[in-house]
Chain A
Amino acid sequence: MKLTPLQKRAERRARNQSHVDMNLVALIDIFTILIFFLLSSATGVEILPSHKAVKLPYSTAEAAPHETVVVTVSAEDILVDGRVVATVDEVMAAEGDLIAPLQAELERLRTQRKVIREENEAASRAVTVMGDRQIPYRLLRKVMYTAARADFTDVSFAVIRKYEAS
């Protein structure tokens, strides 16, 4: 069978073309879904800072965290809004419930944060305690007592949310 020059050309072209076309459709599908999922989950604004050293307890509590003063109690240090104010060892060794440096720091924050509207007065008295799972109640009690002395009366505990029937 005789081919016209045009047909020969088309055949040559088809023969010489290497088919190394990867099939990326499934990959793109997965990535697109992942991106949407991650973008939508990343929109939640983080109010509470997360520390690697502090392992929060699990709880079924549902209340969302508010923007308050955060007192972090790790196994070694006590931090107020990220600044170390005391070490756990010296607090545990101390007699009495008052932690003087913590009280000073909290009182400093209290005077710094002036409330403008009367309604927000209650919110300025709130403090969130992020405590490690292993800390004893004795230490927690000292922290709470000090917070109460520094006029932070509204204490809440930060926990990791778990979904579990009891």
Chain B
Amino acid sequence: MAVRRLRKQPASLEVTAFINLIVVLVPFLLSTAVFTRLSVLELSLPAQSSGVEQLKVDDLKLEVVIRPDALEVGDRIGGLIQRIPNGAAGPDTKALAALVLALKQRFPDTRSATVLASPETPYDVLVQVMDAVRATYRAAGAELVHTELFPDISIGDAPVAQRR
């Protein structure tokens, strides 16, 4: 005897409306998406009412002078600490970061620093130098470990004469 078997049709979903929605939504969201995350770099300006500062002997007043051909790291009282000549691609911020890290270990309580720029210094270089002085980042696995160095940065004009 012949067995009557019902041939089952495969179940099919009606997804056309869903795909329509997605096809419209994806280009719309892609066009509005922002892939650059903005942040801000805070500046510390000297307070208006601050009087003459008392200069202490064993206190670091870190100053980084941006010259066209070099970075000069110095102390306002103690004078020039090190002169970092420019690399092939602008200022050597890696060397600056290493030097500033060593200085931070000698003066762990100091938080302020001054970056002095000459009139023709590009804004980009200024920001890079501020970055190197502000904090250092070390790769530990997939994470970046952040060490704060001198986060209170003021900026000013570089003295005209080169210090020797």
Contacts and interface: CB of A to CB of B under 8 A. Distances in A.
Interface stretch (B30-38, B50-58, B69-77, B80-88): B30-38
Interface in B7-58: 7, 12, 15, 18-19, 22-23, 25-26, 29-30, 32-34, 36-43, 45, 48
B62 interface: no
B33 A63 contact: no
A36 B124 CA distance: 35
A55 to B, nearest CB: 9
B67 to A, nearest CB: 12
Interface in A134-149: 134-138, 140-141, 148
B152 interface: no
Given A153-B48, A156-B43, A39 B94 contact: no
B139 A165 contact: yes
Interface in A80-135: 128, 131-135
A6 interface: yes
Nearest to B145: A165
Contact of B29 (A38, A56, A65): A38
Contacts, number: 154
Given A156-B41, A160-B38, A137 B118 contact: yes
A128 B40 contact: yes
B: contact size bracket: 35 or more
B38 A158 contact: yes
Given A59-B41, A63-B42, A160 B36 contact: yes
Contacts of A140: 123, 126
Nearest to B16: A24
B65 interface: no
Contact of B39 (A34, A38, A44, A62): A62
20 contacts: A4-B4, A7-B4, A10-B7, A38-B26, A44-B34, A57-B128, A59-B131, A60-B137, A61-B39, A65-B38, A133-B124, A135-B122, A135-B123, A137-B126, A156-B40, A158-B41, A159-B127, A161-B36, A163-B144, A166-B132
Interface of B: 2, 4, 7, 12, 15, 18-19, 22-23, 25-26, 29-30, 32-34, 36-43, 45, 48, 93-94, 97, 117-124, 126-128, 130-132, 134-139, 144, 146, 157
Q: Please list the 5 inter-chain residue pairs (A to B) with the smallest Cβ-Cβ separation, ordered nearest first.
A: A38-B29, A138-B119, A137-B117, A165-B139, A57-B127
